[in-house]
Amino acid sequence: MSQSGLTIVYTGKGKGKTTAALGIALRATGYDKKICMIQFIKGSWHYGEMISSKRLEPEFEMVAIGKGFVGIIDDKTPLEEHQKIANEAIKISATKIQSGKYDIVILDEVNYAINLDLIKLEDVLNLIKIKPQNLDLILTGNYARDEIIELADLVTEMREIKHPFRQGKKAKKGIDF
């Protein structure tokens, strides 16, 4: 008996959205499921999942497209360049979603990319609508739009209650990146 695929959204200002999606990927590889994660923003930064994801190959494929976080720290990339790359990620996402090769496709930080005006909401809604019936599609990032939430089957909001950053502690390797 085949189950229909779900559209899952992890959103909110708390930590754990990408981590939750990666948890599903880790679980699914245990069942020989094929997963593709497309990262809309984090691409040029060094972070743990870039290395650890290779240990889950060939079941897990990571496509890091972005040029790093937009408009923060030392970002000198023009907004137009971020937009061009994010729109390329939309095209790659559509190809991966419709390929029939994957059981799960994760669009990491896609909600944030909409919020930053890197991509259009309509393009992401179209990705949800073209999803094959048996594919699970996961969208992460804060600021999930109501239209996306309406189309989703499962929506979880991460809410920050306490964070070490507020106490002056820096991001920790293996926990934050």
Report pLDDT digits (tens) over 39-85: 998 655 556 777 788 889 999 999 988 656 565 555 667 888 889 99
Lowest mean pLDDT among 11-20, 29-38, 113-122, 164-173: 164-173
Which tokens hold the place of 60?
A: 């897990």
Q: What is the pLDDT of residue 163?
A: 84
Q: Are 140 and 111 in contact (CB under 8 A)?
A: yes
- CATH of the domain spanning 7-167: 3.40.50.300
Q: Are 24 and 156 in contact (CB under 8 A)?
A: no
Which tokens hold the place of 157?
A: 């909001």
pLDDT band at 134 (very low <50, low <70, confident <90, very high): very high
Q: Are 6 and 13 in contact (CB under 8 A)?
A: no
- Could you tell me the CA-to-CA distances from 45 to 24, 35, 68, 106, 177 in Å, in that order? 23, 22, 6, 18, 9
Cβ neighbours of residue 127 closer than 8 Å, sequence gap 6 or more: 90, 93, 94, 97, 107, 137
What does the domain layout of the chain look like in residue ranges?
Answer: 7-167
**pTM: predicted TM-score of the whole model, two decimal places:** 0.91
